[in-house]
Structures are given as C-alpha cells and as structure tokens.
A and B are shown apart, each in its own frame.
Chain A
C-alpha cells in the first residue's frame, strides 16, 4: 500500500514535470510547477522527511510560484 502510494506520486511527478516542459503557456506552466512541488512535498513527507516537506510546501508551492507569476506579469505569457 505504502509503496503503491509512492509509485503513484512518482508517476504524477514525472507527468507534471513533462507537462511543465511541454506547456507553451507560461502561466499554466507556473501553476503546474506548483502542483509538482505539492507532489514533491507529499513524497518527502511520506518518505519520512517532514523538515524538507515543510520547506518544499512553503518555498516550492508558495513563494516560487508567486515570484514566477510576478515575473510572467512583468514579461510575456507565451513561450516563443
């Protein structure tokens, strides 16, 4: 059961990572990257690293996404 959950999370990680790379809309890519961070956070927590999970949740899913959104707002939304 535990291993199944891990494998599921890893598969979702790969899927979201590929989606970030393939998405041409940078705004959508930033949001997908945020969900990637969420998966990563769950994986850290599940593998017994709550310290890293907290950092990932606060920095990865929270602040970097905001900074990405601000940067996109200052530049262009589409990847050329």
Chain B
C-alpha cells in the first residue's frame, strides 16, 4: 500500500518534469535563451573584459564575483555549522583539560574505543604517500595559480590539497600533520577565502568605486591578474583547510 502510494506520487511528480523537459529547446540550439542572453557577450568579450583566458574563471571571479563571494561565505558558514555538531570539546587544546572532562558525556565509552585501535599503517603505503606528497602539492599549487589560464582554480586545487592533507593524516597521524596546520592558525586558514574576497573587494571598492571592481584599463592588466590570483590562493587555502579540519575533527576522539 505504502509502496504503491510512493510509486503513484513519483509518477505524478515526474509528469510535469517530463513535460518541462519536452518543452526545452533542442540541445546545442544557438537560439535557446541560454545562448542569446549574456553568454554570447561573455564568449565574445570575456577575455579582454574579465582578464582571464579561462572563461570559467573570468565568469566566476569577475562577472559573477559577488555570487562567488557569497558562495564562499556560505561554505564557510556551513563549516561553522558542521563544527558546532562535530566539536565535543573545545579546540583550544591542552589548557582546557577540566572542561573536556566535564563536557564528555559518557566516560565509560573510552576503553571501548581504545580496544579498537587501528592496525599500524603499512610501510609501503606510508612511503608512497610521503613520496607523492611533494608532487601532489606541486600539482595543487599549479592548479590554483594557473586557474585563470587552464581549467582549474582555487576550488579544484584546494580540494586536491585537502585530499593530500587527509592522506598525510592517515599515514603520519594527527600530531605530525598538526604542525602543518596549527590549531591557532587553522581558523585563519579556514577563513582565507572570505578574507581574500573581502580584501580584494575593498581594494576594488577603493580604486574603482564598486565592491570587487577590477581595473578595466588595459595597462593595469597585470594588477587585475594579480587580484584574481590572490582570490584563487585564498579560495585554495581556505578550501584545503576546511576539508582537512573537517576530517581531523571527525577523526578526533
């Protein structure tokens, strides 16, 4: 009965969706609204107007810069929400010993988790991760810095960097990785994307009068590129720090 109801509901929902799909213009149609509105201008003038060879980056950071800034702030806020759930004791570290004990709801659960200690990491895997780490880091930096020329950018490079961090944490343990991402520096790293956007936005507001405004003069081409690269670095570092800390927080006892 319940299943039949679900199936009926799904069919009822799917009918308007299929009608909407049938009403869509054919794929690749040059006269469809998507291609006649703003994207024609982006494709024609994007390179000299936005200052990025990679059109996607141009749209993300220049034409739709405010949207990307908002997106970055949303991600940062989501991280804060996740931390509110994940953190069971203050992240301040050693000096908050008594508070930790007070906040720990069931002290009896500790021995059980100790008995399930993970097996030692294979030396082969450990060696491979440590061997590939410099190359991965180089690739991530390349993706971040080259985002305005080739596919890639802050989000992609940051995800690669964060993945490398997670692999290193699994292999080396939390303590050693914490030297790369100290507790005091972590919040600043997580907010790097927001800081970069606000800083560049304020600089743009001071020079051009618009928040996130880029200099449009052709002679200031390098300045514009530098502003984009700063934002990309901020997004990359912020993304990597967010991924790494979520993982560290989930792994932490």
Contact = CB atoms under 8 A, between A and B. Distances in A.
Interface of A: 50-51, 53-55, 58-59, 62-63, 66-67, 70-71, 74
Given A51-B153, A66-B166, A58 B159 contact: yes
A58 B250 contact: no
B153 A63 contact: no
B156 A74 contact: no
B160 interface: yes
A14 to B, nearest CB: 14
- Chain B interface residue number, banded: 10 to 19
B243 A54 contact: no
Interface string B128-155: 0000000000000001000000011101
Nearest to B151: A50
Given A51-B57, A74-B250, 5 more contacts: A50-B151, A54-B143, A55-B155, A63-B243, A67-B246
Contacts, number: 41
A51 B159 contact: no
Nearest to A71: B250
Contacts of B250: 67, 70-71, 74
A50 B150 CA distance: 9
A59 B163 CA distance: 8
Q: Main SS of chain A's interface residues?
A: helix
A17 B81 CA distance: 28
Contacts of B251: 70
A63 B162 contact: yes
Contacts of B166: 63, 66
B4 to A, nearest CB: 18
Interface string B239-253: 000010011001100
A54 to B, nearest CB: 4
Nearest to B54: A51
Interface string B163-177: 100100000000000
Contacts of B153: 51
A62 B159 contact: yes
A70 to B, nearest CB: 5
